[in-house]
Amino acid sequence: MARVYNFSAGPSMLPEEVLKKAADEMLDYQGSGQSVMEMSHRSKVFDEIIKGAEALVRELMQVPDNYKVLFLQGGASTQFAMVPLNLMNGSGKADFVITGQWANKAYKEAARYGEANIVASSKDKTFSYIPDLDPSTFTKDADYFHICMNNTIYGTKWNTLPETGDVPLVADISSCLMSEPIDVSKFGLLYAGAQKNLAPAGVTLVIIREDLIGKARDITPTMLNYQTHSESDSLYNTPPCYTIYIAKLVMEWIKSLGGLTAMKERNEKKAKMLYDFLDESKLFKGTVVKKDRSLMNVPFVTGNEELDAKFVKEAAAAGFVNLKGHRTVGGMRASIYNAMPIEGVEKLVAFMRKFEAENA
């Protein structure tokens, strides 16, 4: 059976080269006589894998020495509680910009532990833009300031970071992780579920500045304390070993292509191809203001629900799967993460042109 072009928002497609290498090593990882799936996380062999994965994160993202790299579990959703339990421990306040469903969930979870303040929101226009910020509305003594860097559902992206001064900036980067260079030093903490750009579901990457560790509330469960994982090098309990291994392979693939600068150029080329078509199309149109468009997630509509459904069905039959949009936006959404080849977007655009000619 031929492989399809998978435009899912997550779990997403993985690089074919990575899947083939993992298949080759499935039964015998580098002469160990066992699969990574079944080896001890305390073994020397796996220790080399997890340390190699951390080294690649540091190299690709240019992580400063005063930051810890952690491989955790529970997805980005667990970070919604973990962040306030560990960071909302000074004034008990934190600021949030609501740019979509996940930013809102992070806000609601934090509100259980302290004073969570919404400084801006784009809910008024179905999160189709990144709101302008007024620094005078920021909480001066906030323990942290939270944003969702790329909004998977709504297809928006932060291109200019908030200036938060001494207040640590915290960002959910789940759907833009390693899609382009990012200045880690501008953040107190970054977190990301891996299942969009880095690995299968199961591991969560956290990059945290060391001075923010060790201040968790007394009620914080052991497994939700960053110090627990920092002191044990992400090996306090059994980590998602195989997912970390795949993440290492994916990062080796990214490095082989030229790192994050080359990945950004590749992603910009794919996004431009799709956005240019949407801008000229008489049938399809994008739903996001141009200046805030995501490189990773591209929502679009025809304006007719029946025609949208027809497009999704015919696209799937033609090998373009998981294009149905989120229920809050409707229409379609093409998630074109790192692993989506340029030819996948080229063929999608060709299919859209054909559909338009037949249905406009």
In a domain, 243, yes or no: yes
What is the per-residue pLDDT for 1?
61
Distance CA 240, CA 263 (A): 26
For residues 194 and 341, membership in a common domain is answered with no
Could you give the number of structural domains in the chain? Answer: 2
Query: Is the domain of 140 the same as that of 214?
Result: yes
| Residue 329 reports pLDDT greater than 90 | no
Sequence-ordered list of residues with C-beta below 8 angstroms from that of 327, at least 6 positions apart, any chain: none
Catalytic hit among 95, 143, 172, 292: 172
Burial 301-321 (b: 16+ CB within 10 A, else e): bbeeeebbeebbeebeeeebb
Per-residue pLDDT tens over the stretch 112-161? 999 999 999 999 999 999 999 999 999 999 999 999 999 999 999 999 99
**Which residues lie closer than 8 Å to 227 by C-beta, 6 or more apart?**
213, 214, 216
What pLDDT score was predicted for residue 360? 78
CA–CA separation, 136 and 120 (whole Å): 12
Q: Which of 225, 241, 256 lies at the terminal end of a domain, its last residue?
A: 256
Question: Of 228, 256, 284, which residue is a domain's last?
Answer: 256
User: What value does the mean pLDDT take over residues 306-316?
Assistant: 97
Rounded to 10 deg, the angle between the 259-280 and 241-257 helix axes is: 80
Q: What is the mean pLDDT of residues 289-308?
A: 97
4 within some domain: no
Q: What is the pLDDT of residue 129?
A: 98
Q: Which of 157, 196, 248, 270 is catalytic?
A: 196
CATH no. for residue 100? 3.40.640.10
Model pLDDT, residue 327: 86
In a domain, 7, yes or no: no
Same domain, 31 and 176: yes
CATH number at residue 332: 3.90.1150.10
Instruction: Respond yes or no: is residue 172 known to be catalytic.
Output: yes
Same domain flag for 244 and 266: no
Residues 52 and 87 in one domain: yes
The stretch 188-210 carries a mean pLDDT of 97
* Residue 158 appears among annotated catalytic residues: no
Could you tell me if residue 71 is inside a domain? yes
Whether 224 and 326 share a structural domain: no
Catalytic one among 102, 158, 253, 308? 102
- CA gap 97, 28 in Å, rounded: 47
Using the predicted structure, report yes or no on whether residue 2 has a pLDDT greater than 90: no
Q: What is the DSSP letter of 11?
A: S
pLDDT given for residue 292 in this prediction: 98
Both 64 and 116 in a single domain? yes
Residues 114 and 169 grouped into a single domain: yes
State whether 245 and 98 are in the same domain. yes
Looking at residues 52-75, what average pLDDT do you find?
A: 98
When the pLDDT of each residue in the chain is averaged and rounded to a whole number, the result is 97
Domain end position, chosen among 229, 256, 283:
256
Tell me if residue 292 is catalytic: no
Is residue 147 in some structural domain?
yes
Domain range holding 135? 16-256
- Averaged pLDDT for residues 235-264: 98
pLDDT band of residue 95 (cuts 50, 70, 90) is: very high
In a domain, 270, yes or no: yes
Tell me the average pLDDT across 8-25: 97
Give the per-residue pLDDT at 328: 83
Same domain assignment for residues 292 and 247 = no
Instruction: State both tokens at 327.
Output: 């229920």
Domain co-membership, 292 together with 230: no
